[in-house]
Amino acid sequence: MGELRIGWLNGWIYSAIFMAVASSVYVFARRMTSFAWMSRRKFLVAGLADVIITGLCVLTIWKPIVYPGLLFWAGNLLYALGLVCVVLAIHAFATTPSDQPVTRGIYAVLRHPYYVGSYLCVTGIGLVCRDPLIVLMTAVSIVPGYCSAKWEEQHVAETFGQAYTNGSR
């Protein structure tokens, strides 16, 4: 591994855009979710994925973008697909009334587009920076993220019943 230096052409550019877009859900979604239904253990496991992803985004401050090359272009493709998933997920979430489950838009195709998009973005950043640690730790964070998604699914099914199970795939 090379020397760690803060620079203008480091992965933070990608991370800043991703974090700004991903955080916009709190501004545009007008339907904030309470996690009171989660047990303390579930909340900690679910939060672990967020902590890992956020930590990796902070790490990119010191990771230079490596251009050109196949990994650069593959990373940009994954990153762009991920951003599209996150933006479409936020749009569907923000435009669905709060008394209904989110089952339209990208949610009609992907059950967890926000999670998928986030993992694609951070994996893409890891490839653009040619950092195997970022790619590996993103893969590791999928385990608690998957658990969180399953728990959320169960909670939404219990909350909305048939409206959710009929509208989700």
Instruction: Give residue-wise pLDDT tens across range 80-111.
Output: 999 999 999 999 988 988 888 999 999 999 99
Is 20 part of any domain? no
pLDDT mean over 54-69: 92
Domain count, the chain: 1
List Cβ neighbours of 26 (8 Å cut-off, separation of 6 or more).
Answer: 32
Q: How far is CA 128 from CA 9, 37, 139, in A?
A: 11, 38, 16
Alpha helices in the chain (DSSP H): 12-23, 25-28, 40-59, 70-95, 113-128, 132-160, 162-167
Is 67 part of any domain? yes
Is 13 part of any domain? no
Name the least confident of 74-83, 90-99, 130-139.
Answer: 90-99
List the one residue out of 161, 43, 49, 54 whose CA is nearest residue 103. Answer: 161
Per-residue confidence (pLDDT) for residue 169, from 0 to 100: 53
Is 145 part of any domain? yes
Is 14 part of any domain? no
Q: Is 89 helix (H, G, I), strand (E, B) or coil?
A: helix
Residue type (1 letter), 166: N
Whole-angstrom distance, CA of residue 60 vs CA of residue 140: 17
Residue type (1 letter), 140: V
Q: Which domain holds residue 141?
A: 40-167
Average per-residue pLDDT for the chain:
89
Taking the complete model, does pTM exceed 0.85, yes or no?
A: yes
Is 139 part of any domain? yes
Is 51 part of any domain? yes
Is 9 part of any domain? no
pLDDT above 60 (res 116): yes
HSE, side-chain direction, 13 A CA sphere, residue 159: 14
Angle at 150 between CA 33 and CA 169, to 5 degrees: 95
Q: Is 103 helix (H, G, I), strand (E, B) or coil?
A: coil
